Structures are given as structure tokens and as C-alpha cells.
Amino acid sequence: MNISDIETILNAHSAGSIPTDEAAAKLRNLSYEDIGYARIDHGRASRQGFPEVIFGQGKTPDQITGIFEKLIPRSPNVLITRTTPEVFGQIRNIFTDAEWHESAAMIRVVRDTTDLGLGEISVCTAGTSDIPVAEEAALTAEAMGNRVQRIWDAGVAGIHRILGERERLQNSRVVIVVAGMEGALPSVVGGLVAVPVIGVPTSIGYGASFHGLAALLGMLNSCASNVTVVNIDNGFGAGFAASLINRK
């Protein structure tokens, strides 16, 4: 639907030919804004309290800032993932209070900090090198109104490290586990807790890790039944899904 469609609905409503609730319903399922290289889906994010999100990879800086300018007047919280310091330079010119998160390569605007969660979200990593992906998850979950606790470098080869965090994990509402190499940590964590676990395989490793394939297959074949999986290095998706699970 393009902008003229939206205007048709608004005019019909203001002319009294359709009632308010019908106009709202129409807009809820149909609205987007076409700016040529992108169709921005305002309706979805604004109606559900989600932050607006721009996936930066594969877009030109001008496309990113063009979309950002459309989003910032409507949404209190905005994320730009997989982006660069150069883009941040341009974004800061548009909106001074944008944050740059180096490790996650993310730009973030957080103006609404309402707590929307039933409980806490824990984010664990198997190793130090997995932290950037885990930070993407954590920053996303925070921007979506959650309290997040971070547990870094607790891989299975030193099993006492994750066992030492058992209590914190068991008190979480959902746990995100980020691991490369053999990707075994979600299975162990899954066996320790009675809540949903989201596994995030990372591309950390070499040789037969095949850029995260080993970790991905490991998590998909987890012998713990409460583990679901997202794409390799997809910290954002894990943070997003965990936020929906934790939503009041």
C-alpha cells in the first residue's frame, strides 16, 4: 500500500464514512511508506512497542540515513544493526543522542526505557570472541524494554564456569546462549534451566567450523528439548525473539 491509500482511509474516516475502529484496523494491517528503495513498515513497530530496526548490511549509507530520517519522528527507540562508524557519523548529524556500540557495530536510540518484561533475560557466551554477537542480542533486548544480565566466557571445556552461574540462569525468564566452535553450551544450559533457551551459533572458529556451520548444526541437534536456534551471528534475532517471550 502506498501513501495515497493511507490518505484515502484517513479521508474516508474524517468524512465519517468509516468509523474510527474500522480505520484503525485497516491501518494496522496495511500501512507502509514507500520511499523508492524501501517500503517502511511503520504500522507494525509503532503499534506493538517494538523499536524500529534498520538492518545496515548491504545498504548504502544514504539509504540508511534516508530510512532513519523517516523513523526517528515516529519511534522512540531505533536500532541500526551491522553498520559502521562512518554511518554513525552521518546519523549523529541527524540525531545527536544516538549511541555507538563498537563491539556490536550497532547504532542505538533509546528514548523509551519502560520495563516491559516479565523477568530477566540472561545472555551467555562460550568464549571471549563471541561477545560482539552477544552484545547485539543484549542491546536489542534492552532497547525492547528488558532487563539483561551478561555472563561472558563460560564455555563447556571448563564446565564449572557455567555451573557457577546456575542460580542466575535458573532465575531468568529466558536465556540466550551465544557460542562458536562446537556450539555445545546451549545443550548444557538447556539441561540446567526450565525456561526457553535461544541458541546463537557464531562464526568464531576455524577449519571445520566452516564459518559457524559446526556450531549451527550442534545447536539444531541439541539433546536439550528447550533449545531453539537462530541464524549464525544473529544476535539481533535472538534478542528480539527473547523480548517477545519475556513480554508481559
Which amino acid is residue 154, in one-letter code?
A
Tell me which residues in 50-69 interact with a copy of itself (CB under 8 A): 50, 53, 57-59, 63
- Interface residue with a copy of itself among 48, 85, 94, 99 (CB under 8 A) is 48
> What is the residue-wise DSSP string for 3-34?
HHHHHHHHHHHHTTSS-HHHHHHHHHHH--EE
> What is the residue-wise DSSP string for 99-159?
EEETTTTEEEEE------BSSEEEEEESSGGGHHHHHHHHHHHHHTT-EEEEE-S--GGGT
Q: Among 84-92, 93-101, 109-117, 120-128, which window interacts with a copy of itself (CB under 8 A)?
A: 120-128
CB of 163 closer than 8 Å to CB of 191: no
**With respect to a copy of itself, which residue has the nearer C-beta, 98 or 176?**
176
The angle that helices 61-71 and 85-94 make with each other, rounded to 10 degrees, is 40
**With respect to a copy of itself, which residue has the nearer C-beta, 96 or 194?**
194
Encoded one letter per residue, x for contact with a copy of itself by CB under 8 A and - for no contact, window 164-203 reads x-xx--x----------xxxx--xx-xxx-xxx-x--x-x
Residue 209, classed as helix, strand or coil, is helix
Tell me which residues in 68-97 interact with a copy of itself (CB under 8 A): 82
Encoded one letter per residue, x for contact with a copy of itself by CB under 8 A and - for no contact, window 205-224 reads xxxxxxxxxxxxxxxxxxxx
Residue 76 beta carbon to a copy of itself: minimum distance, rounded to whole angstroms: 17
First to last CA, the chain: 31
Q: Among 70-78, 88-96, 104-112, 161-169, which window interacts with a copy of itself (CB under 8 A)?
A: 161-169
**With respect to a copy of itself, which residue has the nearer C-beta, 109 or 218?**
218
Q: Among 69-77, 88-96, 108-116, 121-129, which window interacts with a copy of itself (CB under 8 A)?
A: 121-129
